């Protein structure tokens, strides 16, 4: 977050969030692929797609290191080597997932997958 004095009325800058209700403020994502050699998925594009359907904070991590948000989050998605993601509830990117192998496209099409209650295996 930055403060730009006298910026009121200035032309908008693509990607700059100026609305405190912007859904992008509900997501945190690391660099992800292709910027990070450790990344197993493209984190930022997935976070952008999911942000509008979220009711809570989501952390999207390219791997279990969780660089962008080391602490727990209500929802965390962690990339897997096969391009799918694991879902961790109320934990960090390194914690045990409650759902594994979710296709990123399924999360975009069915955001309820992020809010539904998990069932015991």
Q: How far is the CB of 80 from ligand SF4 (least distance, A)?
A: 12
Q: How far apart are CA 50 and CA 39, in angstroms?
A: 19
| Residues in binding contact with ligand SF4, number by CB under 6 A | 12
Restricting to residues 82-121, name those near ligand SF4 by CB under 6 A: none
Query: Sheet holding 58-61: strands in order across?
Result: 27-29, 58-61, 73-79, 85-91, 99-102
- Report yes or no: 96 and 88 within 8 Å, Cβ to Cβ: yes
- Report yes or no: 72 and 92 within 8 Å, Cβ to Cβ: yes
Pick the closer one to ligand SF4 by CB: 32 or 91.
32
Using CB positions, name the residue nearest to ligand SF4. Answer: 62
Strands 73-79 and 58-61: parallel
Q: How far is the CB of 24 from ligand SF4 (least distance, A)?
A: 18
Pick the closer one to ligand SF4 by CB: 65 or 80.
65
> Out of 28, 46, 62, 91, which residue is the one contacting ligand SF4 (CB under 6 A)?
62
How is residue 117 written in tokens? 């209650």
- Report yes or no: 63 and 32 within 8 Å, Cβ to Cβ: no
Restricting to residues 23-52, name those near ligand SF4 by CB under 6 A: 30-32, 36, 38-39
- Which residues are at the interface with ligand SF4 (CB under 6 A)? 30-32, 36, 38-39, 61-63, 65-67
């Amino acid at each position: 977050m930055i403060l730009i004095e006298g910026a009121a009325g200035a032309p908008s800058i693509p990607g700059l969030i100026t609305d405190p209700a912007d859904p992008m403020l509900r997501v945190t994502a690391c660099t992800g692929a292709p910027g990070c050699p450790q990344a197993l998925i493209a984190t930022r594009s997935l976070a952008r797609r999911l942000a509008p359907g979220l009711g809570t904070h989501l952390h999207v991590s390219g791997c279990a290191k969780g660089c962008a948000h080391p602490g727990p989050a209500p929802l965390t998605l962690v990339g897997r080597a096969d391009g799918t993601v694991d879902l961790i509830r109320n934990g960090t990117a390194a914690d045990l997932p409650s759902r594994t192998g979710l296709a990123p496209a399924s999360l975009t099409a069915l955001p309820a997958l992020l809010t539904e209650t998990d069932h015991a295996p």
